[in-house]
């Protein structure tokens, strides 16, 4: 096997260099964005690719048209004229991880069957199915005595999400809800949640120590939901993280849900998920969908975890900008990120 590294100013140019040097059968092993050391403001893309034999120019297949749309041959049923190399380029350029793209392409190629349709039809339909299968979703049970603790880094949107959940369950589902905060670090944190509680007509309890939280959650009614706001915890702040763990383990009634902002860059998402992964998390909550068009980094990080998404949020409206996560919705969000032309 020959393994080579390629660099270019963007993904499309880097992929062209891979194909020119190794041929269309080259396997993309990894992709990475970096900066030109001589011109720091200029972005660079690095691809590591491999081919299982020494490429020979004379054996190369002729270049194929890169139009992803089928040609009109006049027959009733035609093979969709999508090109695997062009599709690979589109998926990788969107930011999808090579470790997910390569097996997908092999499967699509193996299952390619005659039939009419265009890429934004037949192949895209298959991609939607694969994206749906790749993610897990859940709707955490709110029956009985339950306490949901929202955890995550500072700025992820935990407090606003709690307000949306509180409005959803109390106003739409007529469930008894209590707000609890253990965030006594952030200036104004208690006041912010207190304001939401007053507007929604919900009680607010404050626990500054783990021993104060335990009677609050264990004293809930048989069909009462407590929503617990926690302090933003950096994955690198060992002391605060240990304090968070102390709060979350005072009662088995408490279930933890990791809040992830869609605006977080992929390397930071990886660090956050790894650090909070030591907690007994029940689900992820994805926030700030309205603040970014780059949702694929989040998808890349969620797929290997196989831990479900429960809710998606966008905007500041309470509770309108909250929706239960569904496979079809997530798949469509990813498809919408891919540039087909």
Using pLDDT thresholds of 50, 70 and 90, give the confidence band for residue 67. very low
pLDDT in tens, 196-251: 888 889 999 999 899 999 999 999 888 889 999 998 877 677 888 888 889 999 99
- Neighbour tally for 154: CB within 10 Å: 12
Q: Assign a CATH topology to domain 146-335.
A: Rossmann fold (3.40.50)
Q: How far apart are CA 187 and CA 301, in angstroms?
A: 31
pLDDT in tens, 275-308: 898 888 999 999 999 888 778 888 888 888 788 9
pLDDT in the model for residue 109:
73
> What end-to-end distance do the CA atoms of the chain give, in Å?
32
Q: How far apart are CA 198 and CA 182, in angstroms?
A: 18
DSSP code of 97?
Answer: -
Domain layout of the chain by residue ranges: 1-59+81-98, 146-335
Report the SS3 class of residue 87.
Answer: helix
Mean pLDDT, the chain, as a whole number?
79
pLDDT in the model for residue 18:
82
- Neighbour tally for 272: CB within 10 Å: 22
Stretch among 83-87, 115-119, 142-146, 230-234 having the lowest mean pLDDT: 115-119
């Amino acid at each position: 096997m020959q393994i080579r590294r390629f660099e270019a100013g963007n993904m499309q140019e880097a992929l062209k260099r891979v194909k020119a040097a190794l041929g269309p059968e080259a396997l993309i092993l990894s992709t990475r964005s970096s900066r030109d050391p001589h011109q720091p403001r200029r972005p660079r893309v690095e691809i590591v690719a491999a081919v299982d034999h020494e490429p020979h120019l004379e054996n190369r297949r002729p270049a194929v048209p890169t139009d992803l749309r089928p040609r009109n041959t006049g027959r009733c049923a035609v093979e969709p004229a999508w090109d695997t190399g062009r599709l690979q380029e589109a998926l990788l350029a969107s930011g999808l991880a090579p470790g997910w793209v390569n097996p997908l392409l092999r499967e699509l190629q193996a299952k390619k069957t005659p039939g009419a349709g265009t890429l934004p039809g037949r192949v895209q339909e298959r991609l939607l199915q694969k994206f749906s299968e790749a993610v897990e979703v859940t709707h955490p049970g709110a029956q009985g005595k339950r306490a949901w603790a929202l955890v995550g880094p500072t700025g992820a949107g935990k407090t606003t999400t709690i307000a949306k959940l509180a409005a959803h369950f109390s106003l739409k589902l007529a469930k008894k809800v209590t707000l609890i905060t253990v965030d006594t670090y952030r200036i104004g944190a208690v006041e912010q949640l207190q304001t939401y509680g007053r507007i929604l007509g919900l009680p607010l309890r404050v626990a500054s120590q783990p021993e104060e939280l335990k009677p609050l959650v264990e004293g809930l009614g048989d069909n009462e939901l407590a929503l617990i706001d926690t302090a933003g915890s950096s994955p690198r702040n060992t002391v605060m993280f240990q304090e968070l763990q102390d709060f979350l383990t005072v009662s088995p009634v408490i279930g933890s849900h990791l809040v992830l902002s869609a605006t977080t860059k992929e390397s930071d998402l990886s660090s956050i998920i790894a650090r909070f992964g030591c907690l007994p998390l029940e689900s992820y909550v994805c926030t700030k969908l309205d603040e970014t068009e780059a949702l694929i980094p989040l998808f890349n990080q969620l797929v290997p975890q196989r831990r479900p998404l429960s809710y998606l949020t966008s905007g500041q409206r309470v509770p309108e900008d909250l929706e239960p996560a569904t496979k079809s919705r997530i798949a469509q969000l990813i498809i919408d990120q891919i540039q087909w032309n």
